[in-house]
């Protein structure tokens, strides 16, 4: 069985790749805007177990965007069936002091905000 904490890794990797697809990877955000994203809150529902070597698909869908944060709905699926779901609150912070910071306008526009 896949240890429950590993789902955090799967969801994190999917968020990283999702941001990369939006041209907002961690390196670019830090270099160009001096900001980073951090998870403030996460709720996970474990529906069915996964086993080692199962091929999982993990999706990311944004479900609300504000000035300094956004909400994501994530789902891990095995053969098209959900096995875990997460609701994630992500906050934009200034890299210098980790205070909340506005999400860069270029990313906001890509998110439809």
Quote the DSSP letter at residue 106.
Answer: H
Is 89 buried (19+), middle (13-18) or exposed (0-12) by CB count in 10 A? Answer: middle
Q: Alpha-carbon distance 1 to 98, whole Å?
A: 36
State the pairing for strand pair 69-78/35-46.
unpaired
Overall average pLDDT of the 39-45 stretch: 98
CATH superfamily of 6-110: Hotdog Thioesterase (3.10.129.10)
Q: Alpha-carbon distance 63 to 70, whole Å?
A: 7
Q: Is the pLDDT of residue 41 over 90?
A: yes
CA-derived radius of gyration, the chain: 15
* Structure tokens that stand for 89 in this block: 């609150």
Q: Is the pLDDT of residue 113 over 80?
A: no
| Chain segment 51-103, per-residue pLDDT in tens | 999 999 999 999 999 999 999 999 999 999 999 999 999 999 999 999 999 99
Taking a C-beta distance cutoff of 8 angstroms, is the pair 64, 25 a contact?
no
Going from N- to C-terminal start, the domains of the chain cover 6-110
Sheet holding 56-65, edge to edge: 35-46, 81-94, 69-78, 56-65
Overall average pLDDT of the 6-23 stretch: 96
Which residues is 61 bridged to in the sheet? 73
Using pLDDT thresholds of 50, 70 and 90, give the confidence band for residue 111. confident
Quote the pTM value. 0.91
């Amino acid at each position: 069985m896949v240890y429950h904490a590993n789902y955090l890794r799967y969801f994190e990797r999917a968020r990283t790749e999702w941001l990369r697809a939006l041209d907002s990877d961690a390196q670019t955000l830090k270099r160009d805007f001096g900001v980073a994203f951090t998870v403030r809150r996460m709720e996970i529902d474990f529906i069915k177990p996964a086993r080692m070597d199962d091929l999982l698909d993990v999706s990311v869908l944004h479900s609300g965007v504000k000035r300094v944060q956004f909400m994501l709905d994530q789902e891990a699926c095995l053969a098209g069936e959900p096995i875990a779901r997460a609701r994630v609150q992500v906050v934009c912070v200034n890299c210098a002091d980790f205070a909340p910071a506005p999400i860069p306008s270029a990313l906001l526009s890509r998110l439809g905000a």
